Amino acid sequence: MTVESLAQRFRLCPVTGLKVNRDSELLIQANAVVAVVAMLVGALAAIGLVLTRWQAIHLLPADQYYRYLTAHGLNMLIFWVIFFEMAVLYFAGPVVLGCRQPAPKLAWGAFALMVVGAIMVDAMVFTGRADVLFTSYPPLRADPNYYLGVILFAVGALIAVGLFFASLVVAKREKTYTGSVPLVTFGATTAAIIAVITLLHGAAVYIPTWLWSLDIGNIDPQVYRMVWWGLGHSSQQINVAAMVSVWYLLGGLTVGGVVLNEKVSRMAFVLYVLFISMASAHHLLVDPGMGSAWKIWNTSYAMYLAVLASMVHGFTVPAGIETGQRLRGYTGGLFEWLRKAPWSDPGFSGMWLSLVIFGFMGGITGVTLGTEQINIMAHNTLRIPGHFHTTVVGGTTLAFMAVSYYVLPLIFQKRVAFWGMARLQPYVFGGGIVAMAIGMIFMGILGMPRRHWDSSFAGAPFAVELPPAGELVQVLFGVGGLLAATGALMFIAIAVVTVFFGKPVTAEALATGASGIPQGVLKLPAQVHTGEHAERVHREGVKGTVVLVAIFFLCFILYYFTNWKMLSFLWKVG
Ligand code: HEM
Ligand SMILES: [Cu+2]
């Protein structure tokens, strides 16, 4: 290849100094755009769901509710999140390592497979041929083309993951970096390894189910559930690993956050890979097919090691941010580094909210609900979606939104449109999700089932009768849900208008600080690691983060033991 043609395929990013190749750049753009389209479908469906579960409105008839619920789960949890993760992999591999895209044609083929698969799935769902929810538990049965769509989508994703590994090999062989790979790439690598485990479970469950939908062979519902959750839960760990990688990336880009101890952070990522598949047992806690010993072993000892990994990151990310800010001179008191953070930069505010919502709400409720004994109170109630909307929405989705505010100027090279609205967007979305999740959690505690068209459960042996406070909780849920959906639509409008009509990021725009360019892009936060000031910062440590972690543990203990107390009332031993 001539020097000239090489130069055409790469550009040097003026802000980060990264060598960006054209193929990966286009792949990142295409995957991100499709991800946002999927989110639009999911968010519109969400509005229907909120207005149905809010009993005072009770909008949709039963069949439409389940159709929207199926569409929402698939377009949000599968299509939005995974298309975005493909973009993350194309970034964390070839772009961060500065190498070429190993096989661009194959990558586009994988992308096409995923798009065709997603369209097939949505076509089946919206024509009423797959009202099976995203878990499609047998004996519920969808049109064979639904399962085929899922399989095509998964094969495409598997190829893209393979190309990520190939880029690691290419970069190493062509010596485009020195030393060990950056932490962001390391985190993405663990996400990719888990993705392979996940997708193999996917093949093991969807291929036989597809055949069964064609009347070939049979499916055991209990085996299906176990293998399906090998896919369904492990894929959540991809989301967590990708989210944590984004936290580290944004910490560095927005406030010069440092990685305090590479080894500790890397070990924590490895724990995810080792223990996550077993933790999927928490989805089977009330299933008759498994014994208590199996349930308790898998959901406590094994799961806690994966939880430990998240708690390590939950400490090292804010500690790295605190150290970065202190190095930049914000050394006053416990929290000057946090008070003076760039709160109007949606890249920073989104990242920080994601960290807090995921840690304080997602983590605490997750460990509690995953406890075998406590789970019996919460099983299939709205407490469960209350929990996972704080992990996969308040955590992962918000982190992906936040990083988009840096992807738009750096990869699409466009100034973010509606900049004033963009500054507010993380607060609207994060605030809405928190309110909705608290609403769901309390509705669940009051006995309201999840995945049910009729919140009042009329005609059932156990009708749900809400105390007056329950009405208020529903209002909190409804208003929060509509606010969150508004935040999602704001994000979609900003992303689409920026991509298709945004003004370019020019040298002049960078020099004059034009609007639509986040502060970290205008001026990459510099870090000074040597000298007297740096030494003092490192000696004094991360006092603020230690206080935050102490508050976290207090909340954790309080919530956990409140739940045991509630259980003891149920069992009439308290
Ligand atoms: C945009 C704001 C959102 C709102 C207002 C919202 C609201 C809701 C509501 C009301 C339900 C139904 C709960 C039930 O009746 O059982 C639901 C279910 C669900 N949501 Fe969301 N959601 C939002 C975003 C997301 C996102 C971004 C994801 C994933 C990344 C997600 C994943 C799910 C899943 C997996 C379910 C369960 C589906 C099922 O039970 O089959 N949601 N959501
Ligand atoms: Cu799980």
Is there a contact between 199 and 154 (Cβ–Cβ < 8 Å)? yes
For residue range 350-382, list pLDDT tens digits in order. Answer: 999 999 999 999 999 998 998 888 999 999 999
Report how far ligand 1's centroid is from the alpha carbon of 69 (Å).
Answer: 8
State if residue 81 touches ligand 1 by the CB under 6 angstroms criterion.
yes
Q: Please report the atom of ligand 1 found closest to the CA of residue 65.
A: 15
- The closest residue, in CA terms, to atom 6 on ligand 1 is 46
State if residue 129 touches ligand 1 by the CB under 6 angstroms criterion.
no
State if residue 93 touches ligand 1 by the CB under 6 angstroms criterion.
no
Q: Give percent of the chain with pLDDT exceeding 90.
A: 78
pTM: 0.96
Is there a contact between 167 and 97 (Cβ–Cβ < 8 Å)? yes
State if residue 451 touches ligand 1 by the CB under 6 angstroms criterion.
yes
Report how far ligand 2's centroid is from the alpha carbon of 388 (Å).
Answer: 9
State if residue 317 touches ligand 1 by the CB under 6 angstroms criterion.
no
Residue 400: HSE in the Cβ half-sphere, 13 Å Cα cutoff: 33
Query: In a 3-state reduction of DSSP, which class is residue 356?
Result: helix
User: Looking at the CA of 478, which ligand is closest?
Assistant: 1
- The pair phi, psi for residue 11, each rounded to 5°, is -135, 155
State if residue 387 touches ligand 1 by the CB under 6 angstroms criterion.
no
For residue range 154-212, list pLDDT tens digits in order. Answer: 999 999 999 999 999 999 999 999 888 999 999 999 999 999 989 999 999 999 999 99
State if residue 481 touches ligand 1 by the CB under 6 angstroms criterion.
yes
* pLDDT the model gives residue 5: 58
How far is the C-alpha of 452 from the C-alpha of 346, rounded, in Å? 35
Amino acid at 163: L
For residue range 397-420, list pLDDT tens digits in order. Answer: 999 999 999 999 999 999 999 999
Residues near ligand 2 ion, CB 5 Å cutoff: 233
How far is the C-alpha of 96 from the C-alpha of 187, rounded, in Å? 12
Name which of 81, 94, 97 is nearest 25 in CA terms.
94
For residue range 240-265, list pLDDT tens digits in order. Answer: 999 999 999 999 999 999 998 999 99
